[in-house]
Structure 1
């Protein structure tokens, strides 16, 4: 038999064997990922996601999402999975799921819900991504195209290895679902939330809130709207689906639970949490670890529990601050250089604002083929790094760029790194986060007047209208619970 024909027949057989029945549609579809592989991928990604964002410290909210999530998972199309549901500590308005049944809501989106039914609709939507195997489908397409995960690296490709966003677990968050997948998840969100007794009409209303929320492009994950269809279209479609499902299951006394939800999120942190580090007037402050350093003007900053990343608009350089493992400055420096296969060009013992430090300039060679190795080429990356001993920790603060650009960026690297210092300003140390407070309207009026009467400032009114899912000229009755912001 012709070898080419054998190869083609073998490929067809492999593809046929790779077809699996979709749990939601019942149709056979190409899948290069088994259920076991989905579970393994989610299990591997989960600790990376939790480490990147942290869990939000509110036992009531964590219990709430777990209980509602398990209740909904039990009536889903994939009851066999061991689901996990978590609220992560990010201000971005988002919810996302990864293969294997791992579902995450940010505190940012929890702050924007105004009742349990809105939450339940989005919860069903995210579970729908899991039950319909959307992530697995996208992974299969990626594997067929022989492409790696794109994790949203904020700097030049040669610097990517130093940025945590390159990890596979975080890369899963950047898989783009098609509009058909999103519509299917909307449909499943309506179905699942209706089946556990919630009014899915509220899910439609939440899309109005989403359309008014602006996404922060510098955050580590995209906002909810960035990967989803037009909110107005979704609103109309979900309303229609909600009516159909309510008729199908003959639903009565569907839950909204506005007041109970608002009381539960009373005190939730809104926006950035200063204790995790914050930027004010181009200076980064960390109140808990008590250090500060300037941020180069015009550079974007991304903060996570593991490290602080800064990058210029052209993306040709990267500055990082992270803890360096090691029992001493020398051990920390040697360990880092070894782990990243960097060769020191020069090194010296020094001090940074009274703190003991080691300064190192080091190179990392590019991966080269044999022919390229025969030529003398410049190193791919050159770095200025300081290992600074402070507060019982060794901090590694460094600037990286290509060898060709190193002299251009060196003054910026050196000026910012050598400005690392102890934070002593009590006003900066004691800075409080904004928190949502739930208060009853004092007297029937427009939302604008009601919020003003509760102490809201004029420059907060538009933002508070979005948070409350209302317009400023909407009428609110005395006693109605509304959200305000306080420190």
Structure 2
């Protein structure tokens, strides 16, 4: 089930997927080749907008379990692919043509290979049953930029769309997909049977959903889009899981992770929380990127976005935005500016109000500013190119006159990250702690520096809060450390 989190922006592909696959015939009326092509295009957007989690050991493990499940299908019309998205929410979803994604958030919360297999088998079943979303709900404002004007429409919109890899009109949108109750039930049954056929416990998906529901409650219900929300375990559905599981014959296969130690070894070091420091993090409205060693401060009160290809801020009333993306390190600053000026003259007959070289500390840069007076309200357009020793950047900002100061303050705040700022970036990761004889979770947490409370630690490990641990029992804990040393 596709359910994107609050940090996912520009997920415009949802509309194109449905327009191609639904219509009068729905997915069932589409050729497999059409589904595969749509899936390829959609997966490209997923990976550009959410990002793929960098962890080869864990990614190979997920792929191996997925392939074992696929090998147990009676027929295989699709080329299935299994990947981990860099998403904190507990999420799993399938795209047409066999693209299956699980989030790092859901992987952190599972406690066995059987649970992973249950989740993957469920999503494989949605693909094999050729389900499509029955309902789309749009979260956020309908359309980002309400700034009329020919320059914005003809040139700047395309430039920003190219930077964020999505149409400017849909930037900042979140589309939530859900399946019908009958489709979910069908995927439950087919997924459990597939898991069992591959040698996994068919009841494990129910166990995983129960645990995810408890985690959500402990988090205060703050994950507005998660696998659990799209696969809610009502009392009747939970009973159905276990009733069906008792009717399915299965024989356990040899797992890829031979024991709990080897299973947890694959989760050790997994990032936890909404921001992955390797992609940069927001500290309130200041964005800091330790690896590329830059920082930029965005306007107060604007909606902040940190996507794999860009970082930016969007004014809530849709009257301004500013985005920063990468540029070719070999670019010539002056030549880039001159090419843009020529483009504006040729396509919109507009000359720059300002065009000059500018320094960002020791970093050279170039600024070009235009004024678009063709709409109801004048719009100021800012383009900047900046080169640091490690990277090159392009900044685009636009807004009505009242936002000029905020746009300029944000743009000119781009600078090198100081040593002190680099040292302020922390990382929260899943770590594995070995228990001492007769130790309680409270005692283990105190000794291991665990950031989770007792209830969360218990749920994350599939235990009761009053468990008495055996010597050497391996427990997932959450630890914080400096990201950059």
Report the TM-score, using the length of structure 2 for normalisation: 0.77
Structure 1 partner of 2:358: 351
Higher mean alpha-carbon deviation, 444-453 vs 183-192, is at 444-453
Structure 2 partner of 1:156: 144
Aligned-pair CA distance for 1:112:
1.3
Relative to structure 1, the CA distance from residue 40 to residue 130 in structure 2 (aligned partners, 3 Å threshold; closer, same or farther) is same
Residues 310 and 318, structure 1, Cα contact 8 Å, conserved in 2? yes
- Paired with 2:175 and 2:75, the residues of 1 have a C-alpha distance of 21
Q: Select the structure of larger CA radius of gyration.
A: 1
Higher mean alpha-carbon deviation, 56-65 vs 121-130, is at 56-65
Structure 2 partner of 1:485: 478
Query: Which structure's relative contact order is higher, taking Cα pairs within 8 Å and 6+ residues apart?
Result: 2
- Paired with 1:410 and 1:262, the residues of 2 have a C-alpha distance of 51
Structure 1 partner of 2:212: 210
CA RMSD, aligned part only?
3.8
Aligned-pair CA distance for 1:217:
11
Aligned-pair CA distance for 1:157:
4.6
- The correspondence of residues 357-396 of structure 1 with structure 2, limited to 5 A, is 357-362=365-370, 377-378=375-376, 382-391=380-389, 393-396=391-394
User: Is 1:442 the equivalent of 2:443?
Assistant: no
User: Any idea what the Cα deviations from partners look like across 1:374-432, whole Å, max 9, x if unmatched?
Assistant: xx64378643332223236432223333xxxx122222111111111111225516845
Which of 77, 83, 91 does residue 86 from structure 1 map onto? Answer: 83
Structure 2 partner of 1:407: 401
Residues 138 and 175, structure 2, Cα contact 8 Å, conserved in 1? no
Which of 315, 320, 333 does residue 317 from structure 1 map onto? Answer: 320
Residues 201 and 250, structure 2, Cα contact 8 Å, conserved in 1? no
- Paired with 1:341 and 1:379, the residues of 2 have a C-alpha distance of 20
- Paired with 1:408 and 1:329, the residues of 2 have a C-alpha distance of 29
Structure 1 partner of 2:17: none
Any stretches of 5+ residues in structure 1 without a counterpart?
A: 1-16, 20-28, 143-148, 366-375
Residues 345 and 363, structure 1, Cα contact 8 Å, conserved in 2? yes
- Paired with 1:106 and 1:90, the residues of 2 have a C-alpha distance of 5
Aligned-pair CA distance for 1:150:
6.5
Structure 2 partner of 1:59: 56
User: Any idea what the Cα deviations from partners look like across 1:33-52, whole Å, max 9, x if unmatched?
Assistant: 21110011112233333333
Higher mean alpha-carbon deviation, 380-389 vs 176-185, is at 380-389
Q: Paired residues, what number?
A: 433
- Paired with 1:297 and 1:172, the residues of 2 have a C-alpha distance of 22
Residues 207 and 234, structure 1, Cα contact 8 Å, conserved in 2? no
Residues 39 and 97, structure 2, Cα contact 8 Å, conserved in 1? yes
Structure 2 partner of 1:7: none
User: Any idea what the Cα deviations from partners look like across 1:431-483, whole Å, max 9, x if unmatched?
Assistant: 452221112211324433332233325x6545434432445334443332111
Any stretches of 5+ residues in structure 2 without a counterpart?
A: 1-22, 148-156
Report the TM-score, using the length of structure 1 for normalisation: 0.76
Aligned-pair CA distance for 1:315:
4.4
Relative to structure 1, the CA distance from residue 223 to residue 400 in structure 2 (aligned partners, 3 Å threshold; closer, same or farther) is farther
Aligned-pair CA distance for 1:329:
1.9
Relative to structure 1, the CA distance from residue 64 to residue 328 in structure 2 (aligned partners, 3 Å threshold; closer, same or farther) is same
Relative to structure 1, the CA distance from residue 239 to residue 422 in structure 2 (aligned partners, 3 Å threshold; closer, same or farther) is same
- Paired with 2:80 and 2:370, the residues of 1 have a C-alpha distance of 45
User: Any idea what the Cα deviations from partners look like across 1:106-153, whole Å, max 9, x if unmatched?
Assistant: 222211111111111100111111111123x65xx99xxxxxx97978
Relative to structure 1, the CA distance from residue 131 to residue 412 in structure 2 (aligned partners, 3 Å threshold; closer, same or farther) is same
